[in-house]
Amino acid sequence: METQQVLINGERLKQTLEEFADIGRTENNGVTRLALSGEDIKARAYFRSISEELGMSVTWDDMGNMYAKLEGVENDKPPIILGSHLDSVEKGGRFDGVLGVVAGLEIVRTIVERQIKPRTSIVVANITNEEGARFEPSMMASGVLSGWFNKEAMLASTDSEGITFGQALVESGFKGEEVNRLKDAAAFLELHVEQGPVLEKELLDIGVVDCVVGMVCYEIEVMGESDHAGTTPMPMRKDALFSATNLITEIRKEMSKLDDQLVYTIGRMNVSPNIHTVIPDKVVFTIEARRKNENMVKKVTEIIEGLPNSKAREKCEVKVKRLWDRDTVWFDDKLVDLLERSSKTLGYSYERMASGAGHDAQFIATYIPSAMIFVPSVNGKSHAEDELTSWEDCEKGVNVLLQTVLVLANRGTLGTNLSPLF
């Protein structure tokens, strides 16, 4: 099969992406499509209608995950899953998540149009509430699928108006049966925008993602004493904010010694009582760090857990609480190799890279062979209305995915022998 000659329709891909962007489009050409909102329900209905027009059967499970299936010749074999998510953050971008879903639809359109008969069934999946923007946590449904999250706890998660995820799911009309869940598959492939500046800066077309980096997140509580800001001499103060800033300076100093690929963020800080005439008596802030080298993450934890004994705290008491962590998730070697070889065959520039952001594929990878492709994000922007990926780069990413799908679907199994590719 001369699969390298089979390419998608780039103009049709662009049109479909814009049609989905119309559902929740903002004034500044972004998208607001929170999970199980009216906009999300409309996008789900549109996804279903496109799928059924292509002759696919559409089901959904008890977490609202949707599965559009194109039957293969050998329907008893585990299917190939292509997917991502349709929900967005508030005033997010037009490409985040939806590109991976529309990519699957365009691949099926191409296969149907070319009258290709895949041996293995192909499923395009829309995974519920990846963003966690309305109902926390993010990657909720894939977390339940993989057993990482407790289903009942997720159903009880509430939005800002007190509506539970479970209630919204029922009202959406997309609460299905647990039997419909994604359980067994030959592969799960997710195409996504990079959400970072690396590919654009290095003038690369494709990022072949081999892992999602490990990370750790801590909450640091610094306790001092509140006193009058005008009458308490400086040497007699226990200023929690001064101590907190000292600790942050120490964290940056020590972290910078570890690794230039380590990234760390102090993303939240609360100061009490937060009055300009009162010396702060308590400061709570978070510190998270990400790196695929697990030994490096261990060194980070040593630095953070040593803060209660640091001289930088001065007279204040410091408590450290580990909020959560995750190990680096490595994707399937054979799938990563296959994505790389598909990129080579098409003549696209690429590199292997890690994902610093979390994605549904990282949870699904715990029980199904999985891998990801990144395409460039202009200026590294994402989760913002000015998020942008060129139409040409979108097309290239989908073409890499298509070549990989044709190989897998023609074999019917991932197997151990990937040669020859075409």
pLDDT tens profile 6-32: 999 999 999 999 999 999 999 999 999
Which pair of tokens denotes residue 112? Answer: 């149907």
Distances (CA, A) of 306 to 123, 172, 190, 247, 318: 49, 48, 39, 11, 10
CATH fold of 3-213+329-411: Aminopeptidase (3.40.630)
pLDDT band at residue 259 under the 50/70/90 scheme: confident
Q: Is the pLDDT of residue 304 over 60?
A: yes
Place of tokens 């020590």: 254
Lowest mean pLDDT among 98-102, 143-147, 411-415: 411-415
Angle at the Cα of 263 (from 131 to 212), degrees rounded to 5? 50
Of the candidates 301, 275, 277, the one whose C-alpha atom is nearest the C-alpha of residue 289 is: 301
Beta 282-291 vs 263-265: how paired, if at all? antiparallel
Average pLDDT value over all residues in the chain: 94
Gap between the Cα atoms of 277 and 359, Å rounded: 45
Kind and range of the H or E run holding 265: strand 263-265
Q: Is the pLDDT of residue 416 over 50?
A: no
Q: What is the chain's percent helix, strand, coil content, to nearest 5?
A: 35, 20, 40
Which one-letter DSSP state was computed for residue 126? E
**pLDDT computed for residue 280 by the predictor:** 98
Average pLDDT on 260-285 reads: 96
Write the CB contacts of 209 (distance below 8 Å, at least 6 apart in sequence). Answer: 331, 336, 352, 353, 354, 355, 371, 372, 373, 374
Half-sphere exposure of 31 (CA within 13 A, CB side): 31
How far from the centroid of its chain's Cα atoms is residue 60's Cα? 21
Backbone angles phi, psi at 189, to 5 degrees: -120, 125
Are 348 and 400 spatial neighbours (Cβ–Cβ below 8 Å)? Answer: yes
Gap between the Cα atoms of 79 and 404, Å rounded: 14
- pTM assigned to the model: 0.88
**pLDDT computed for residue 56 by the predictor:** 98
Q: Is the pLDDT of residue 159 over 70?
A: yes
Q: Is the pLDDT of residue 413 over 90?
A: no
Give residue limits of the domains in the chain: 3-213+329-411, 214-325
pLDDT band at residue 418 under the 50/70/90 scheme: very low
Task: Write out pLDDT tens, residues 57-112.
Answer: 999 999 999 999 999 999 889 999 999 999 999 999 999 999 999 999 999 999 99
**pLDDT computed for residue 293 by the predictor:** 84
**pLDDT computed for residue 326 by the predictor:** 84
CATH fold of 214-325: Alpha-Beta Plaits (3.30.70)
**pLDDT computed for residue 325 by the predictor:** 86
**pLDDT computed for residue 410 by the predictor:** 86
**pLDDT computed for residue 417 by the predictor:** 41
Q: Is the pLDDT of residue 252 over 60?
A: yes
Average pLDDT on 207-220 reads: 95
Gap between the Cα atoms of 279 and 191, Å rounded: 50
**pLDDT computed for residue 63 by the predictor:** 98
Average pLDDT on 204-233 reads: 96
Gap between the Cα atoms of 207 and 192, Å rounded: 10
**pLDDT computed for residue 421 by the predictor:** 35
Q: Is the pLDDT of residue 199 over 90?
A: yes
Angle at the Cα of 68 (from 352 to 354), degrees rounded to 5? 15
Average pLDDT on 282-304 reads: 92
Cis, peptide link before residue 308, omega less than 30° from 0: no
Place of tokens 């691949």: 107
Gap between the Cα atoms of 86 and 60, Å rounded: 14
Q: Helix (H) and strand (E) counts for the chain?
A: 12, 14
